[in-house]
């Protein structure tokens, strides 16, 4: 499965897709990019006159690239089942730098473990200067849609 096929499998609509490109993906690691467009609607309110990207959106970006893209790659043989979905189960992230409108970030993720349909990864987000924006651990599970 190549990078574009992985991106095409992501379960997000245009307004909530935070993956532009996957630069590297294998059984242990994924690296990708996203540029936060200046016209994203949350910048109007977070914060007035000094917009920055909300931490929850940074977390989502790290989860989409670092957890879901890697999960899709790892589960490529099972993706014919249209009822598969991913759910983030936990995150422990530290934030060190703000991300402003128009900035590009790089997310890299290394698999810690993948068993019983649970994936846990060490993730890191860097800005264009190579500064660490955020780092930590994100975990999630593969679920069948309709799972109660």
Helix (H) or strand (E) segment spanning residue 4: helix 3-9
Q: What is the rounded CA–CA span in Å between residue 31 and residue 147?
A: 30
- Exposed / middle / buried, residue 120 (Cβ in 10 Å: 0-12, 13-18, 19+): middle
Q: What is the rounded CA–CA span in Å between residue 40 and residue 103?
A: 12
| Residues with catalytic function | 46
Torsion sign across C-alpha atoms 129, 69, 146, 14: positive
CA 83 vs. chain centroid, Å, equals 20
């Amino acid at each position: 499965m190549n990078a574009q096929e992985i991106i095409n499998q992501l379960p997000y609509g245009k307004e909530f897709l935070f993956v532009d490109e996957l630069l590297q993906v294998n059984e242990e690691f994924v690296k990708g990019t996203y540029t936060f467009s200046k016209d994203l609607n949350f910048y109007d309110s977070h914060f007035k006159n000094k917009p920055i990207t909300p931490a929850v959106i940074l977390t989502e970006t790290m989860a989409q690239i670092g957890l879901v893209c890697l999960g899709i790659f790892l589960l490529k043989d099972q993706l014919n089942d249209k009822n598969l979905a991913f759910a983030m189960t936990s995150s422990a992230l530290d934030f060190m730098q703000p991300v402003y409108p128009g900035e590009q970030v790089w997310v890299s993720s290394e698999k810690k473990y993948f068993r019983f349909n649970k994936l846990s990864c060490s993730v890191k987000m860097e800005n264009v200067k190579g500064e660490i924006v955020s780092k930590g651990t994100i975990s999630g599970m593969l679920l069948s849609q309709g799972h109660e």
